[in-house]
Structure 1
Amino acid sequence: MKNLLIKYISRGDNHVDPNFTFLTYGDSGSRASQISNTVEPGSYVFFHTSFDRKAYITAYFYVEKILNKNDNSAEIRTLNTDSKVDDVIILGSRERSKILTSPLPFDRTLAGQLTSLKIAEDRFKGNLTELQVISNSTRSHRRLSNTDTDFLLKQCLNRG
C-alpha cells in the first residue's frame, strides 16, 4: 500500500483544507498528480502542521475514495468543503480515520524513526532549527513505507 505524509498550513483566507469535519483533502497541479499516482483506497494519509514553533502530526485519513475533477465532477459538486475546487480530492473513512485531540510531536526523534523520509541526522547540526529542518524536508508530499505507516498508527493510538 502507498501512503503519504502531507504538510498543511492555515492559509488565513477561510479556505479549510484539509477539512477534518468532513474528512476531505484536495490538491491541484503536481501535488494532485502525486496523490493520483500514489494514494488509493486503503492508503493512509497523515497530516502535519506547525504551531508554537514546533511541528505536529494532527490527523490521518484512511482513504475511502479518491475523486478526480475530470471523472467525478457531479459528486464533487455535492461536497460541502473547500476542497471541491481542487483537481483531486481524498475522502477519508469515518470509521478508520482519526483527528488527534493530542497532536503527535513531529520532532527530530520522530523524524529519525521514519526511515522512508530519509532525513539525515547531520541536517539537524547546522544553523537551522529543528522545525526548519523538518519543514524543509517535508514541504512536498512524502511517501511513507508500510513500516513507517504502522509505526505512526501505533504512535497515534491514544491521542484522541
Structure 2
Amino acid sequence: MGSLLIKYKQPKEIKNHVDPNFTFLTYGDSDSTKIQTIKRSISAGSHVFFHTSYKDQAFITAYYYVERVLTKVENANELDCLRTDSRHDEIVILGSRERSKILTFPLPFDKRVVDNLPSLNIDWSHVTSGRQSELKTISDPTRAHRELSAAEVDWLLGECKYRG
C-alpha cells in the first residue's frame, strides 16, 4: 500500500470541472499514465495528498484517507451514481469521511516541506542560482503524481494535524 501527492488546478482554470471534489471526497483521472500510478500505488488505507498553487505560492490543501478505488470497467454502476465530475473519469478515488481532511489553513508547500519529503528529489540549485522561482522548482517535478514513503506520510499528517 502506497500513498501519493497529486497536483490539481483550481476549478476556474479547468472550465469548472471540479476534481478533486472536497465536498464529496472524490478524485478521478482518465490520463493513462496517472491511472497506472494510481492502480500501482493506491488501495484502501492509502493516503492521497492534494496540492495546488495560488498567487505564486504552492499549498497542500487536503488529504484523503482512501476508502475505495473504483474503475469504470469494474464499477460502472457505482460511478454513474456519483454526484461529482469524477463520474466521467476512468478511475476514481473515494476518501473516507471520518479520516480525510480538508485544511482550513493550507500547508505552504515550500522548501521546508520539500526538504522533509526526500523522495521528491527536488534540486534547489535553480533557485539558489536565481534561474527560477521556488514555486517553479517545486511545481515542475510534482506535476505528475508522486509516490510518498510511509515516513513522509507520517510527517505530512503531523504537519496537517492542527490546520483545521
Fold match, TM over 0.5? yes
Work out whether residues 57 and 135 of structure 2, in 8 Å CA contact, stay in contact via their aligned partners in 1.
yes
Q: Which amino acid aligns with 1:2?
A: G
Q: Percent identity?
A: 52
Q: Which amino acid aligns with 2:35?
A: A
Paired position in structure 2 for 1:20: 22
Distance 1:120 1:53 in 2: 19
Would you identify which runs of 4 or more consecutive aligned residues in structure 1 move more than 4 Å? Answer: none
* Structure 1 gap ranges (5+): none
Paired position in structure 1 for 2:80: 77
Q: TM-score, normalising length from structure 2?
A: 0.95
RMSD: 0.9
Paired residue secondary structure (1:61): strand
Work out whether residues 21 and 27 of structure 2, in 8 Å CA contact, stay in contact via their aligned partners in 1.
yes
Paired position in structure 1 for 2:8: 8
Out of 28, 31, 36, the position equivalent to 2:34 is 31
User: CA shift at 1:159, angstroms?
Assistant: 0.3
Q: Please, which moves more after superposition, 45-54 or 6-15?
A: 6-15
User: CA shift at 1:122, angstroms?
Assistant: 2.3
Work out whether residues 2 and 40 of structure 1, in 8 Å CA contact, stay in contact via their aligned partners in 2.
yes
Distance 1:2 1:27 in 2: 18
Does residue 48 of structure 1 match 2:13? Answer: no
Distance 1:35 1:123 in 2: 30
Q: TM-score, normalising length from structure 1?
A: 0.97
- Count of matched residue positions in the alignment of Structure 1 and Structure 2: 160
